Homo-oligomer: A and B are copies of this chain.
Amino acid sequence: MTTPTMQSVERVFEVVEVLWREDGAGPAAVAEALDVHRSTAHGYLRSLEAVGYAVNDGGTYELSYRFLDMGTRLQYRNRVFQAAREEISRLSRETEELPTLVVEEAGSAVILHQRPGANALELGTYSGMRTPLHTTASGKTILAHMPAERVDAILDGGLERVTERTVTDPDRLRKRLATVREDGHAVDVDQQVVGMGTVAVPLHPDDDHVASLAIACPSERIRNESYQDELLGALKESRNRVSIKYQYGR
| A interface residues, Cβ below 8 angstroms from B | 3, 5-6, 8-10, 12-13, 16, 20, 23, 42-44, 46-48, 50-53, 55, 63-77, 89, 93, 105-106, 110, 112, 115-116, 118, 126-130
Task: Check if B70 sits within 8 Å of A16, measured CB to CB.
Answer: yes
Q: Which of B12, B63, B76 contacts A74 (CB 8 A)?
A: B63
Closest Cβ–Cβ distance, residue A111 to chain B (whole Å): 9
Q: Which residues of B contact A74 (CB under 8 A)?
A: 20, 63, 65, 67-68
Closest Cβ–Cβ distance, residue A127 to chain B (whole Å): 5
The distance in angstroms between the C-alpha atoms of A119 and B106, with both chains bound, is 37
Task: Check if B116 sits within 8 Å of A89, measured CB to CB.
Answer: yes
Q: List 14 A-B residue pairs with CB atoms under 8 Å apart, sorted by A's residue number.
A: A3-B46, A5-B50, A9-B12, A9-B50, A10-B47, A23-B77, A65-B74, A65-B130, A68-B74, A68-B110, A68-B112, A70-B71, A71-B72, A93-B118
Closest 7 CB pairs of A and B: A68-B128, A68-B71, A71-B71, A69-B128, A9-B47, A67-B71, A8-B8
Task: Check if A10 sits within 8 Å of B105, measured CB to CB.
Answer: no
Closest Cβ–Cβ distance, residue A16 to chain B (whole Å): 7
Q: Which residues of B contact A3 (CB under 8 A)?
A: 42-43, 46
Q: Which residues of B contact A55 (CB under 8 A)?
A: 105-106
